[in-house]
Each structure stands twice: as C-alpha cells, then as structure tokens.
Structure 1
Amino acid sequence: MAAFFLLLSLVPVVLVLGIFALTRRSKGCRNLPPGSLGWPIVGETLEFLSGKPEKFVFDRMNKYSPEVFKTKILGEETAVICGPSGHKFLFSNEQKLFTAFRPHSMQKIFRPHRAGAQISRAAEAQISRAAEAKILKSPGFLKPEALVRYLGKMDSITQQHLQTHWEGKDTVNAFPLTKTLTLTLACRFFLGADDPQRIARLVTRFDDITLGMHSIPLNFPGTIFHKANKAAVAIRRELRKIIQEKKAAMATGPPMQDILSHMIVATDPSGKYKPEAEIADNIMGLLVAGYSTVATTMTFFMKYVGERPDIYDKILAEQLEVSASKKSGEVLDWDEIQKMKYSWNVIYEVMRLTPPLQGTFREALTDFTYAGYNIPKGWKIYWTVSTTNKKPEFFGEAERFEPSRYDDANAFPPFTFVPFGGGPRMCPGKEYARLAILTFVHNVVKRFKWELVLPHEQIIGDMMPAPQKGLPIRLQPH
C-alpha cells in the first residue's frame, strides 16, 4: 500500500517535468506559429482523431490563424499550413523544404522489417518514395498510354461485378460493394490476379488497415492499431503466396504485364533482387492507395447523386450519348472516357464536399519561415484540402452540390481546389482513379436509378469518411 501511495505522489511530479520539458523544447525555437502543443506525450492527438480532423483544423484556424498554427498530433510537433497560399507553398517546395512522412502507425504497419533499423525517418521516407517512384514511373504503369490497355479489362470487370452483386436486388449496401469492386480492380491491375475468393478474404483485412493507418500505435488486443497490425500480417502472408505463384508462372510462361511481375524482376541499385518481404510491403501500400480512396469516392457519388435526380438525369444523358455509337458487347475506350466531362465534374464536386482522404504529412528538411513564423527542422507539416474546399469566398453556396461550378476552369482562384495535391507529390494514381470511377459511373447509371434508404445516415471515420450503415440504396432497374 505504501508503494502505491508513493507512485501516486509521483504522478504530479512526472506531469510537471513533462510540461517543463515540453515548454523548454518549444522555446528552443523562437517565433513559432500560434497554437498549442497540448498535453505531454499525447499532445492534441485525441482531439484530432475523435473530433474529426476537418473540425479540428477549422476550429484552430478560427482561434489562432487562418494561415498556419502549431499542434502536436500522432506523437509529432506539427505545423498545419492552411489555405490556397499554403497549398502553393507546399507544392512549390517539395524536396527543397519538405520530404514525405508517414506517421509511426503507418511505418510500423507497412515496413515492420525496418522498424528496428538504425535509419532516420527522413531517410526512410526518401527510400520509400524512391522505391515507389521507380515501381510506378519506370515502366509507365500509371501513364495514360499504359492505362489505355487496361481500360477494356476494367470495363468488363465492372460489368461483371454489377451483374453478380447488384442486378436482381431490390436494395444493396453501396459502400461494401464499391470496396469489393475497387479491390478487384486493384488486384487485377497491380497483381495480375482476379480470384474472387482470395479478394473476398482481403477486403475486411484492408478495411482494418485503413482504420489503423492514422491511429495511436498501441499494439495490444482491443486497439485499432493491433487489429490493423494483425490484418497487415495476414495480407503480407497472402501476398507472399501470390508472389511465389507469380514467380512459378513467370518461369514457365510468357512475360506478364502487371506491376507485381515488374517488381519481382526489378533490382535494387546494388543489382540484387528485392526480398519477397519488401516486395509484399511495397505492393500492399499500392493496393491500399488504389482501394480505399477510390471506393469512398464511388460511394459518395451514389449518395450525392441519389439525392439529386436532376443531376442523375444529366449524367445518364451523357453516358447514353457515349454508348450511342458502340456496338453491343464493346468495352469503353479512351476517347469515350474523354467525353464524360459532366460526369467528371460531378466527381470533382463529390471530392470537394467529402474528400476521400483528409490530409497527408511532410517532414521539414531544414528550418524555414512561413507567414512570418519559424518552423524548425524535423517538425511535421500537415496538409489538408479541407482548408479551402468549403470556403464561401472561393465557392459560392459552398455547401450546395453543384457540378456546373467546374464548367469554367477560372471560376475560382488557383490552389483552392486541389483534390489530388500538386507539384512533385501530386497523386501518381490520378488517371487510374479517374478511369476506375468513370467506368463505374458509366455502367451503374445505365443499369439503375436509385434512392437512399437512409437519407440522413451518419458519416463516421476520422481521416477517411464512411457512411455508418454502408449506404443502403434502393435500386430501380432501367
């Protein structure tokens, strides 16, 4: 009992020392942005995750500064740079002032074999970025000319998915079905695999990972991070099986045109082939990127268009015009995708009102000054599209779903709408996402009209939004 009271008496001392250390550290660099670093150790992480990142940012922009404020989230002292000037500053200084940064939860989930290595986080980010750039850019997998070859397969997979899971149903839950579709497309594109049973096993695992990517990395049963780690282990095990199957097929068959096949035969700068564990980590990251955000955009397309029959009618008219010159059984081609201008404006408006990813992180490579404040080297920079998307000074009737606002490319100032980022770090999968989403739009509106079963369904999630009940919709076949 005496020991218990001794420990209890030490708690205030520890807190005071923590606050003193935090204050001393922050005073080491003068003229920091306004804001609060929150509690010792945890900072403001709980408010960031539990109160939704968008609200967290807006509240502090109003309280401290609309340009930049400081905080401490996910274990890191962070400057949140806001508004169109902030977007421009970040995009213009990639690799000069900033490098990519993954929160500790993502580092541990995606690269556990490096977790104990003696390597700086900046070096880790640069290695990761260089590896991904080499994978995606050297053979041009995500360039339009390469994606054109995949478009027909994407169309046929989407048609088959709708026939299997949607047709003949009075109601469906759109969110889980779009996740199944996007993972099927990603597995076919990245892995060259399309086993439905294998994909079904992976869907829930990927859901667990997306929830755990921005979480407090406490690895014990019952935590979101623990569940994400278990999912990553299971996915990594499945991917290694696929890698071994792919190697065997490549040894006896013709060359294969998918990203996994390229990764297997690609070498590192020393001329060695990459270990299977590293290939599995890289491909898992690519699959996550090609899965959750695309599925979220498709789902909220169904939500917003289900609320607006007038917009549905315009999309249908455009898609029927695209189909008018096609023969029965012909799949979509590149020129037809380019004709879907109104449909893509609708998707833009979906992403403006409900960004599929709230934000990303960078790390400061050097001390720098922004908006009159000093940002120290090593601090993290949080970037989010939400600081401009709903501002009435940029978007008239900002809360209204209005695709026609994109008819004029100069209708709003530069750097106010940047759903795919910008500069050297612009999303490399933009064209892939555009093809996958528009192929889905083309096929779903030609088959069905729909209405929302739960018009006021709650939207949950922190970094990635999700309808609480999976967005049930009532289908009306044409």
Structure 2
Amino acid sequence: YKLMTPIFGKGVVFDAPGSRLDEQMRMVMLSLREVPMRTYPPLVAEETQKMLATLGDEGELDLLHFCKELFLYTATRCLMGEDVRAGVDAEFETLYGNLEKAINPLAYFYPNLPIPTFKRRDVARARLVERVSTILDKRARSGVRVDDGLQRLVDGHYTNGQKLSPHEITGILIAIIFAGHHTSAGTQTWSIIELLRNRAIHDRLRDEVDALYARGEEHDLRVLRDHQLGRSVLREVLRLHPPLIFLFRKVLRDWQYRGRVVPAGQMLCASPAVSHRVPETYPDPERFDPSRYERGEADNPFAYIAFGGGKHKCTGNAFGLLQIQVVTQVLLRELELELVDPPESYVHNYKTATVMPQGPVRVRYRRRVRRTAVQVPSSAPTKSVRRLQLLPDRPVRVSIDRQLCQGHAVCVSEAPGIFRLGAEGEGEVFVASPSPEAFERLARAFEHCPNHAIVVAQDDAQEPS
C-alpha cells in the first residue's frame, strides 16, 4: 500500500502506524454499523433511479461506465453525507480521475518523481482538501449538526483527544471511495452479465424482486439479508469474479505450517480466483451455480475469500453487498436487459489494480412493462446462511472472537438481550448463557455477523462446520 501514500496522504490509513490506523478505522466503522446501515437501502435505490431517469425508453449503454458513475454517488451519499454527494460534480470527477491514474508501481519507489501524472495527482489531492475544508467551514458556521459519515469523522478523535485534521478527513474520504468504488462497480457489472447469461436464474430472481416490491419490503435491511437467492447470486458472482488478484499478509513472527517454517518478514499471498476454483471444494468450478451454497460448498471460511479474511477482512463488505443487492433489484425491476455481444466475449481486464470486466460492457435496455406482481415465496433458508440449530434443553456459551470482530455491531441489533455496545463501540457479550427464549435472536446474530466472529458452543448442537 506504500504507493497509495501520496493519494491518501501521509499518516492516513495504510501510512499510519498500526494503532493509529485502528483508531481511524474505528471512526470509519461508525458509518458501517447496523443502525446507519438500515438507512442506506432507500438512498442507494434513489441514486439508481436518478441514473435511470437519464436514460431513454430503450437503447444501449456501457454498463460498466454506468456502474462506475452510480457507485461514486452511492458511496459518497451513504458514507459521507448529502453535501459531499452534492459536491460530486465534473471537477470532483476530474480530480478523482487524476488520483486514480497515479496508481503506478513507480510510486512505490519514487513517489515524488516529477512526472505529469504525479504532478496532477498532487494538485488533485490539494484541491480536494480545499473542497472538504470548505464543506467543514460551512457546517461550522451554520451550527447545524447532521447525522452522517462526515460529521462522525468531524466529531471523532484519537484516544489522546486529538481531532482529525482536514488532511486526514480528506484522506479517509478518498480511501473510502477507492475501497468500494471500482470493486462494487465491477461486481455489479458482472452480476448483470451473469444473470443475462443465465436466464432461468434471472427470471426467478426478478420474480422474487417483484414480490419484495409488492410487499413493500425492498428497502428493509433484514429482509435483504434474508433474501437467499439474491445473496447466493451475489456470492457466486464474487466467487467467479473476485475484484482482487492477490491478498497479501506479512509474517510478523516465525510461523510453522505442515512442517515448513515461514520466517518473520516474509510475505504470504493468496489468490481468490484460484482458491475459488478448487474442484474439491467447488465441483464444476467454472459453472455459474448459485445453488451450490444450498449444498454448503462454501461453509469452510477459508474456502471463500472474496473479501479477504481474518482480522483484516474488508471492513465494508456488508455495505458493498447491500449496495449491489439494492442496485440489482432496481435494475431488474425497471429494465428488460440483454447482452449486445456474444456471452463469452465478456472477459476480465487484468490490466487495472481492480479486476473488472473488459470495457465497454454493452447491454441493450428497454423500460419494463409492469405486470401485476405475483407474490412468490422467498428462497427457503439454506445451509449457507449459517443458521444455528440449538437444543432448547441444553445451555449455550456465547463469546466473540476478537481477532475477527471489526465492530459492525449487527449482534447488538439482532440480539440486544445477549449483546451490547462496549466502551469502544464494538459489540460485546452481555449474557454469555442466554435462555432458550433468546435462541432465535442468537441464531440471527450468529448468521448475519459480517465477519462470523460470534462463537456459540452447545453440546450436540448442529453448528455449521
């Protein structure tokens, strides 16, 4: 990540010492927790509808370009606020583009090399600091407090009481956009491509989306999490099209594995695209098959690493899934889509830092003629949901794996009688041995924890392997 330092800024995110990085991520996490997350589905849907309103009744579009623009709007609006979103104009997009173009291996060795790309990068970052400072000054003068991500950063502070500077807030803003913009845009594009390649799955999902709208549940976060077909489709897209080529970890102390010693200082890497195609785990691995999760093919947490894993798993994984799920619903609800080019012609582009489809991704669209929505049952709960089956006559023991917990606090929302917010805002166990009446709430907290950090022990309980 050293090459990102000139973009994010000195002392910001990956350039910060470990303890300071943890504190910065704690402030970011405030916008990724359960309570604010509930407000995001209608915002994402509204931004999608705004983009669709710019289209005609029928035509052709570059889906990848459409999604890149859309997710710039959704990320800034949800995670930073209305005034930051309002500032996403032509100048902002040019400045952001100049930062993107500066992601170059040269920056790892010569970050200040006086070449035009790096000069434009530095000018762009300085201008973004000015723009963020203007928003902060305007807020301070108005005296109006807004409950949004930008305000949470303004109110945040390190453990020593020091507040974030405009330089740091801007760097975090840039990092937030970089973290989810291209990854989400690419995954969204692949989602539509795969659905159009597999019409039976497309039609079934569209029927279920119609049913969600008919019941008025399309923006309910809990319903979205329980919509198994939608989630399974997205998981399968990420299995076949993970946005990162490699995941790296540095070995901090000598480590032994299967008789081999890996010395401290070495770098280890895993490739999601390779791990996701191991036939012993995923039979017929090249086939797009969302039903494989009903068969438990990804129950091994080390077999599915689209978002990484462990302590450094992608912090925004739950938000990313939510965005794509909502956008997919709106697109299926509003448009009839078809691929313009042969299905096999849509391929990966490995020339960019984030793996996306090779553009342009041409699709043909037509406004959908509404029919009376028929209510269909949502997909039945499947093994892949990690639902616990607890025996009511046996006590349970609940704990949280602190190496995995990042503080999303979904558990506090799903099972408030068992979990509560700790001093640092993370979830903590309040009742370690809950009564059988609380088992259903415990099961929901267990299955929906983004990092699977909840540990439940009960003799003879049927817990996912």
Task: Provide, for residues 247-290 of structure 1, a one-character-per-residue CA deviation record: whole Å limited to 9, x for no partner.
Answer: 32243232112222222232233323222212211221112112
Other-structure match for 2:146: 256
3-state SS of the aligned residue for 2:364? Answer: strand
Residue of structure 1 equivalent to 2:52: 162
Alignment of 1:347-362 (within 5 A): 347-362=234-249
Deviation for aligned residue 1:343:
1.5
Q: Is the 8 A contact 1:390 1:399 kept in 2?
A: yes
Task: Give distance in 2, aligned partners of 1:290 and 1:229.
Answer: 25
Residues 52-451 of structure 1 mapped to structure 2, 5 A cutoff: 102=1, 104-111=2-9, 113=10, 124-127=16-19, 129-137=21-29, 140-164=30-54, 166-192=55-81, 193=83, 195=85, 198-203=88-93, 205-206=95-96, 209-210=99-100, 212-213=102-103, 215-217=105-107, 218=110, 227=117, 230-231=120-121, 233-326=123-216, 332-409=219-296, 413-451=300-338
Q: Is the 8 A contact 1:105 1:212 kept in 2?
A: no
Identity of aligned residues (%): 22
Q: Helix, strand or coil: the match of 1:290?
A: helix
3-state DSSP class of the match of 2:88? helix
Compared with structure 1, are the counterparts of its residues 282 and 412 closer, same or farther at alpha carbon in structure 2 (3 Å cutoff)? Answer: closer
Q: 1:325 deviation in Å?
A: 1.8
Q: 1:335 to 1:272 in 2, by over 3 A?
A: closer
Contact 2:64–2:361 (8 Å) recurs in 1: yes
Residue type at the aligned position of 1:384: S
User: Secondary structure of 1:170's match?
Assistant: strand
Residue type of the alignment partner of 1:109: I
TM-score normalised per structure 1: 0.68
CA contact (8 A) 1:457 1:471 kept: yes
Partners of 1:127 and 1:205 in 2: how far apart? 30
Match of 2:437 in 1: none
Write out per-residue CA displacement over residues 422-456 of structure 1, whole angstroms, 9 at most, x where no aligned residue. Answer: 22222221221121111101100011122222331
Q: Judging changes above 3 Å, is the alpha-carbon distance between structure 1 residues 107 and 367 closer, same or farther for their aligned structure 2 residues?
A: farther
How much does 1:128 deviate? Answer: 5.1
Give the secondary structure class of the aligned counterpart of 1:473. Answer: strand
Change (3 A) 1:195 1:368: closer
Structure 1 gaps of 5+ residues are 1-101, 116-120
Superposition deviation, residue 380 in structure 1: 2.5
Cα deviations across residues 344-373 of structure 1 (Å, max 9, x unaligned)?
211111111110222333222222233333
1:236–1:308 CA distance, 2 compared to 1 (3 A): farther
- 2:243–2:355: 8 Å Cα contact kept in structure 1? yes
Q: Deviations over 1:308-347 (max 9, x none)?
A: 2112101101101101123xxx972224423432122111
**Residues 132 and 357 of structure 1: CA distance in aligned 2, closer, same or farther (over 3 Å):** farther
CA distance in 1, matches of 2:16, 2:266: 16
Using the alignment, how far apart are the partners of 2:318 and 2:177 within structure 1?
15
Deviates more, 1:168-177 or 1:261-270: 261-270
Of structures 1 and 2, the larger Rg is shown by: 1
CA distance, structure 1, for counterparts of residue 241 and residue 27 of structure 2: 30
In structure 2, C-alpha distance between the alignment counterparts of 1:180 and 1:227, rounded to whole Å: 22
How much does 1:414 deviate? 4.2
CA 1:368/1:388 → structure 2, altered by over 3 Å: closer, same or farther?
same
Shift of the 388–379 alpha-carbon distance from structure 1 to 2, 3 Å rule, reads same
In proportion to residue count, which structure has more helix? 1
Determine the C-alpha separation between the residues in 1 that align with 2:144 and 2:225: 33
- CA distances 1:177-218 after superposition (whole Å, capped 9, x unpaired): 111111101111232135567344444554564565463425
Instruction: Give yes or no for contact 1:394–1:412 (8 Å, CA) kept in 2.
Output: no
Q: 1:265 to 1:144 in 2, by over 3 A?
A: closer
Determine which of 459, 468, 471 is the counterpart of 2:348: 459
Distance 2:3 2:41 in 1: 35
Aligned AA (2:363): I
Which structure ranks higher in relative contact order (CA pairs < 8 Å, sequence separation ≥ 6)? 1
* Distance 1:128-1:230 versus aligned 2 partners, 3 A rule: farther
Give the AA of the match of 2:274: T
Q: Displacement, 1:472?
A: 1.1
| Offset of residue 124 of structure 1 | 3.7
| Cα RMSD (Å) | 2.9
Tell me, in whole angstroms, the C-alpha distance in 2 between the residues paired with 1:384 and 1:207: 27
The farther-off stretch of 468-477 and 202-211 is: 202-211
**Residue 392 to residue 423, structure 1, CA distance change in 2 (3 Å):** same
Change (3 A) 1:158 1:250: farther
**CA gap 1:202/1:307 in 2 versus in 1, 3 angstroms:** farther
- Counterpart amino acid of 1:461? Y
The number of residue pairs the alignment matches comes to 362
Following TM superposition, where does structure 1 have runs of at least 4 consecutive aligned residues deviating by more than 6 angstroms? 220-223
